Structure 1
Amino acid sequence: MKKSTLALAVTFGILAQQAGAAGFIEDSKASVSSRTLYFDNDPREGTGNSNRETATGLKFDYQSGFTEGTVGFGLDAQAMVGVHLDGGKGHHAANGGITPTDTDGSSVNEWTRLGGNAKARFSKTELKLGNALTPSLPILVSNDGRLLPQAFEGGTISSKELDGVTFNAGKLTHGIGRASSNFDGFAVSGGTEASNSFVFGGADWKVTKDLTLQYYYSNLEDYYKQHFLGLVHVYPIADNQSFKTDLRYFDSSSDGKNGDVGYRFNNNNGYAKNAGEVDNKTWSAMFTYTLGGNSFLLGHQQVGDDGGFVWMSNGNIVDNRGRNEGVGGSSFYLFTDSMIGQFARAGENTTFGQYSYDFGKMGVPGLKASIAYLSGRDIKDVNRAVNTEHSEWERDMRVDYVIQSGPLKGFGTTLRHGTFRGDSTSTVDTDQTRLIFNYTYAFK
């Protein structure tokens, strides 16, 4: 049994002795969630990760309340299982599928995960220690875009002791991917050596009810250091009418062994002033006008000329049998983190827009639809000797429907389709379709 799992079991045993304490049981909640995903990734040029599979994931969540006293203690537990339904060898992409890969290159039939967090609360400050952490912060976004969610091991602290300010900090040592049963260290795209130290800290300051300012710092040891500044402002024009401004700026630089063999950053298969190293400044701005059920979004993003935008993932780390652990598939806090493309290479200027409609305004609650388009240009060639700039574009469409009443209340369906095209040798023209069925039952 993994040490972290054993520690959580011991913690649960200790807390169970206090289960009668007011709050621990009374404030607890539990749920079971299911997600069935049909995933079709079609590289139109005959290269890249062709993938056509269906799988189901089940997730049980238990969240306790806190024991009484100046310091309250609690426990969150989680159990997950993934079952492969369809798509044999030849339809499974070892490094980009929705399930782990078996020894023959096909998908495994099923896989399981167990995890949990011990937690403590003092006043308005909460500490969590465990291996089921799912942060959603500008410098780290837990990915939940396919079957099972990405999770992290380590410790985090969140504090709201100051009115209007939320402080977040922590250290993470391992991660488990959306298609894996195993934890591993961290890297960046192109990295093969694991780092076991990702530290971060920052704050969200709600200056007024309509204006929020953000600053965060993070460091992935031996890979990169990153500063983030953000501003979000919502201007209420009238009832059912508003204008939102969202500004983001990242400054990333090399750390420790970055650039050495095993610690190289591939700069998203784009140009880098210093090959293998992190050196980037990226800014983006998004403006959203909402009127009734209509939402119109327009924005622009500029990736610096010296290298690609960087974020934490699990790189190309493999297990002791030489197989990719399936831990890849990370999200990042840019507007261009799209269904297929990333639009995050050196020099890239991306203009993007989206139109969304909530049909609840027409008497069909639970039904939403959107279409988005991104156009990236001025991408610097990966070969520094070639003075050529490239371009790429993507169109994404999405429809969501959640049943609002009856025995299937809460059952949701999502249909997504994306089309990506680019003119450089490091991109693959791709069509992708995802059909997702979600349902969560909360125990009462």
Structure 2
Amino acid sequence: MNRTRIPAPLLAALGLGMASPAMAGFVEDSKASLELRNHYLNRDFRQSGAPQAKAEEWAQGFTARFESGFTEGDIGVGLDAIGELGIKLDSSRDRRGTGLLPFGPASGEPLDEFSELGLAAKLRASKSVLRLGTLQPVLPVVIYNDTRLLSATFQGGMLTSQEIDGLTLNGGRLTRANLRDSSGRDDIGYGAASSDAFDFAGGSYAIGPQLAVSYYYGKLEDIYRQHFVGLVHTQPLGGGFNLRSDLRYFDSREDGQERAGEIDNRNFNGMLSLSHGGHRVSAAWQRMSGDSAFPFLNGGDPYSVNLVTFNTFTRAEEDAWQLRYDYDFAALGIPGLTLMTRYVDGRNARTATGDHGEEWERDTDIAYVVQSGPLKGVNLRWRNVTFRSGNGLTTDLDENRLILGYTLALW
């Protein structure tokens, strides 16, 4: 879609007129978009004696994003902004809990709407950028959640440096979190435990066009500290076949006052993917060792190959394997249509009763993005989930999600 010019009266109203040459990059390199996401989720709890027979909600989300360029000079200044609004279309007290909508703590009724506004100032010097304010990091030790109506955000500061070719360094501190179904900003934390800050540092290095390695360290003060080492390798095999290897290892321990209790977890997980044409077949393995589950920030997701639609398979001592198949129908002359199906099986998970819990999940995603015409860019996704568990793990459910989305580039 072609970008439209920003009207001069609007620039003048914002105090960003072109009279100052230093502001040229701030305006000319800026971009803004509006994402619309309509999300329906139906979760049917299958086990007998469940406190809630089903969770079913339907809502409309709006996410506006603005990213400025940088002012000219040795140190450039910029500003990013995100505004999120969620509106209830259908829900009730007895069908809440899908993660789409917040509900009142006293009444238990889902709220009609919720929203957030976040700003981040940014400074650029050479090939390094410092951001202060609302952040959405995507790093092994902290990944913001974006699987429901609105995405989660964090508050803090983050420095990204790319001064050396092939090397990307990141470091910073987060102090607050805005969850995906909340308008408030909570203290950064893990589970029911809260902390003053989460500090992180590390980077990735591309050894060549086919091999990259990474290391990160994160510390949630007085709760846990975590080391991560990763490797990603791609290898053309000839005949149109390509092999991708993604290996990840975490070592997590308690920190300081141990507000979440003892944390002792080693998490090795990896995935091998073979692709050819529109086909991709993947196999994954995950091994947990230690006395506790794998820790990750509230408002975030675990960086694991077995993070799937419903479950994370990150319980203490759990072993899990996955088989996955993806197909892009562009290979058959139907661009925009894709299919994903996978099965994950978890065994030996430690339960409260000391049993070796078992769980499995089967997911199917069918998605289509309109390629032309007045609806170009509109995307529709159907997600189907079956989850079962046993030996001390009691969650069973069938789930369907329908997601209709569109992102409009404003300029």
**Alignment TM class, shorter chain as reference:** over 0.9
- Inter-CA distance 211–429: structure 2 relative to 1 (3 Å threshold): same
Three-state SS of the structure 2 residue aligned to 1:23 is: helix
SS in structure 1 opposite 2:93? coil
Q: Is the 8 A contact 2:32 2:64 kept in 1?
A: yes
What letter corresponds to residue 109 of structure 2 in structure 1? S
Superposition map of 1:132-151 within 5 A: 133-151=135-153
Cross-structure match for 1:224: 224
Instruction: State the match for 1:357 in structure 2.
Output: 327
Give the distance between the partners of 2:200 and 2:32, measured in 1 at CA: 30
What's the TM-score once normalised by structure 1's chain length?
A: 0.86
Question: Could you tell me how far apart the structure 2 residues matched to 1:358 and 1:225 are?
Answer: 40
Distance 1:88 1:43 in 2: 16
The one-letter amino acid of 2:380's match is T
Contact 1:233 1:244 in 2 (8 A): yes
Gaps of 5+ in 2: 1-12
CA distance in 2, matches of 1:117, 1:246: 32
Residue number in structure 2 paired with 1:108: 111
1:195 and 1:15 mapped to 2: Cα distance?
A: 39
The reply on whether 1:184 has 2:169 as its aligned counterpart is: no
* SS class of match (1:66): coil
Whose strand proportion is higher, 1 or 2?
2
- 1:295 partner letter: R
Identical amino acids, percent of aligned pairs: 39
Q: Which residue pairs with 2:9 in the alignment?
A: none
Partner of 1:81: 85
Residue 376 of structure 2, aligned match among 409, 425, 429: 409
Deviation of 1:113 after TM superposition, in Å, equals 1.0
Question: Following superposition, which runs of at least 4 residues in structure 1 exceed 4 angstroms of deviation?
Answer: 12-20
2: CA distance, partners of 1:434 / 1:214? 34
Choose from 272, 282, 307 the match for 2:292: 307
- Counterparts of 2:254 and 2:290, CA distance in 1: 15
Distance 2:315 2:171 in 1: 29
C-alpha spacing 1:250/1:408, structure 2 compared with 1 (3 Å):
same
AA partner of residue 36 (structure 1) = N
Q: Report deviation, 1:229.
A: 0.3
1:239 Cα shift?
Answer: 6.3
For the structure 1 residues 296 and 25, does the alpha-carbon distance in structure 2 shift closer, same or farther, using more than 3 Å as the test?
same
Say whether residues 1:418 and 2:385 are aligned partners: yes
Give RMSD over aligned pairs: 1.8
2: CA distance, partners of 1:178 / 1:389: 32
State whether residues 305 and 380 of structure 1, in contact with CA within 8 Å, keep that contact through their aligned partners in structure 2: no
CA distance in 1, matches of 2:190, 2:36: 31
Which amino acid counterpart does residue 376 of structure 1 have in structure 2? Answer: G
Q: Is the 8 A contact 2:370 2:378 kept in 1?
A: yes
How many pairs align?
395
Partners of 2:99 and 2:180 within 8 A in 1: no
Pick one of 366, 374, 383 that aligns with 2:344: 374
Query: Hey, what does 2:211 align to over in structure 1?
Result: 211
Is contact 1:19-1:25 (8 Å) kept? no
Q: What TM-score comes out, normalization by structure 2 length?
A: 0.92
Question: How many angstroms apart in 1 are the aligned matches of 2:321 and 2:111?
Answer: 40
Note the C-alpha offset of 1:19: 8.2
Alignment-derived partner of residue 165 in structure 1: 167
| Shift, 1:240, TM fit | 4.0
Q: Is 1:201–1:218's contact at 8 Å kept on the other side of the alignment?
A: yes
**Aligned counterparts of 2:99 and 2:383: Cα–Cα separation in 1:** 17
